[in-house]
Structure 1
Amino acid sequence: MTTCKSTQHTDLKTIVIKLGGSMLEGLTTTFFENFKKMQQSGIDIIIVHGGGPAINQALANANVETITKNGVRVTSSEAIEIVQSTLIGKVNPELTHQLNGASIKAIGLSGYDGSLFNCSFLDKKEYGYVGNIEAVNTALLKTLLSEKIIPVVSCFGVSSDGIPLNINGDTVASKVALAMNADSLLLVTDAPGVKINDEVQNSVNPEQIKEWIYSGDIYDGMIPKVQAAIDCLNAGIPTVQIVGSQLVGTTVQKKGVIA
């Protein structure tokens, strides 16, 4: 595992980009052009996506109730089929099609494909059909990247005995980034970064974040985003960036570390 203190990258090689479900419907031509520029500069890109709004709508249409606990969607046996069909059958192919339509070679993947994830139950009694990633098939991802194909990974896995499992999006992104020894993780949201006094901060550290949450300068929907960034740093990812659709925003890194 790569730790933040011991790793100082001079050139970014691999970036994992997590697209929140709320971002998927408003992707622009500029957004895809930025992807092309990153690839042309020699950066390998892996996309991990969620699908919260689409899943919520599909569950509501089927009159299936759902709740979240500790940031994790509790997924019943009834809900897991809907989550699976929405993520793998709708959201993932639509995003992959958009990328291909923008002349960006991409292929959609889930935990079913090429044994991408080795998964177990996170806690069946507590969360139902929710998975925890034990290992990532990095050889598969590296093979695709070597051909300049972007893997588009949905947050869905399967147990060793074939049981489908919903997986938290930030967890998938973090596990993939760690397994691939990624230089950075980008959390793409509908906010342009961390704003303090209406000004986007170029760089912040966990200590500052805690102070700003306490003071109320960081509030509402930005709180879970910065907390996810801190969790990723603590897991060993060198830097995490909270960015908007222009793929620029705020770099979150440990105090004293040079990105």
Structure 2
Amino acid sequence: MKILLIKLGGSILNELHESFFTSLKDLQAEGYKLVFVHGGGPDINEMLDALQIVPEFHNGLRRTTKDVLDVVELVLSGKTNRTLVSLLQKYGFSAIGLHGNDANLLQGDYIDQSALGEVGEITNVNSDLIMNILSLDLVPVLTPLALSENGKTLNVNADMAAGAVAKALNAESCVFVTDVKGVLENGALVERMTLDEAEQLIEDKVIYGGMIPKVKTALKTLQTGIEHVRIVSGKEHFFESGKWVGTSFVEKVRV
């Protein structure tokens, strides 16, 4: 089974173009099974603002008190997940929303409870459950929530969750969907680069600004053992006529 793990950030969700869904259809026609993991940062921040709770971050991760966790779970499960599932259904996909803290789907452990609160990293993925869902020709859409050993819900960074799920499913590729088609050098799309090349481009400031965290996340995911990690755009075709459009990261060039 060829599995494609697609990570969607909350910020791109409302900007997805029809051509993005056409690319997904083309990938299904090529035999890929699709699995989604999504974030929900903008929706979460909007709700926190409405409740007059000031967002806090530590080393790039959302500091999650119990009050913040209630908001995170409410928004991810009740709004963002439903929005993505509805969008996929609109374009003809049999999508099903799954919450990572249900049925031991995603199990996790605290990263640093004193500094981050209810924030975790994934220690185990119920891959059998996801594979069973895929066998029914359904498209699973997962929230990045995990359950600790003692039954507590943990907030998991969506990028980290995507990498962990991709690894557990032995996915052929992990795709990070953004608002740009990939890494540009002198205005031209870089279609393929190795880990070393990417790090050099960051050092040379060819990769800069908001693209740096995107690339670093891609590289981190690559090091989990996924063969191909890609950055693509949600605003246009990213797969067409059997060809990928975006930046593909590989650990090293194969001879």
TM-score normalised to the size of structure 1?
0.92
Q: Which amino acid aligns with 1:213?
A: I
Unaligned runs of 5+ in 2: 239-244
Give 1:37-76 correspondences, 5 Å limit: 37-76=26-65
Partner residue, 1:96: 85
On the 8 A contact 2:101/2:107 being kept in 1, the answer is: no
Give the superposition deviation at 1:21. Answer: 1.1
Give the superposition deviation at 1:116. Answer: 0.5
Partner residue, 2:250: 253
1:125 to 105, 114, 118: 114
Q: Which amino acid aligns with 1:183?
A: E
Q: Say whether residues 1:144 and 2:141 are aligned partners.
A: no
Aligned to 2:123, the other structure's residue is in SS state strand
Cα distance in 1, alignment partners of residues 178 and 83 from structure 2: 18
Instruction: Output one character per residue of 1:168-227: Cα deviation in whole Å (capped at 9) or x when no partner.
Output: 011110000000011110011111100111111110112121221122111000000111
Unaligned runs of 5+ in 1: 1-11
Give the superposition deviation at 1:113. Answer: 2.5
Cα distance in 1, alignment partners of residues 27 and 180 from structure 2: 21
Moved more, 59-68 or 87-96: 59-68
Q: Which amino acid aligns with 1:184?
A: S
Instruction: Output one character per residue of 1:127-176: Cα deviation in whole Å (capped at 9) or x when no partner.
Output: 10112211000111101111111100111122233322110011110000
1:153 to 127, 130, 142: 142
Q: Which amino acid aligns with 1:255?
A: K
2:176 to 187, 199, 207: 187
On the 8 A contact 2:6/2:36 being kept in 1, the answer is: yes
Give the superposition deviation at 1:112. Answer: 2.7
Partner residue, 1:170: 159
Give the superposition deviation at 1:14. Answer: 0.9
Q: Say whether residues 1:23 and 2:12 are aligned partners.
A: yes
Q: Which amino acid aligns with 2:74?
A: S
Q: Which amino acid aligns with 1:230?
A: L
Partner residue, 2:123: 134
Q: Which amino acid aligns with 1:212?
A: L
Partner residue, 1:6: none
Cα distance in 2, alignment partners of residues 89 and 257 from structure 1: 44
Q: Which amino acid aligns with 1:171?
A: M
Q: Which amino acid aligns with 1:87?
A: L
Q: Which amino acid aligns with 1:93?
A: R
Q: Which amino acid aligns with 1:256?
A: V
Instruction: Output one character per residue of 1:92-111: Cα deviation in whole Å (capped at 9) or x when no partner.
Output: 01110111121100100112
Partner residue, 1:116: 105
Instruction: Output one character per residue of 1:219-254: Cα deviation in whole Å (capped at 9) or x when no partner.
Output: 000000111111111111111001112232000112
Q: Which amino acid aligns with 2:21?
A: F
Q: In angstroms, what is the RMSD of aligned CA positions?
A: 1.4
Q: Say whether residues 1:86 and 2:92 are aligned partners.
A: no
Q: Which amino acid aligns with 2:37?
A: V
% identity of equivalent residues: 37
TM-score normalised to the size of structure 2?
0.93
Cα distance in 1, alignment partners of residues 59 and 223 from structure 2: 18
2:222 to 233, 237, 247: 233
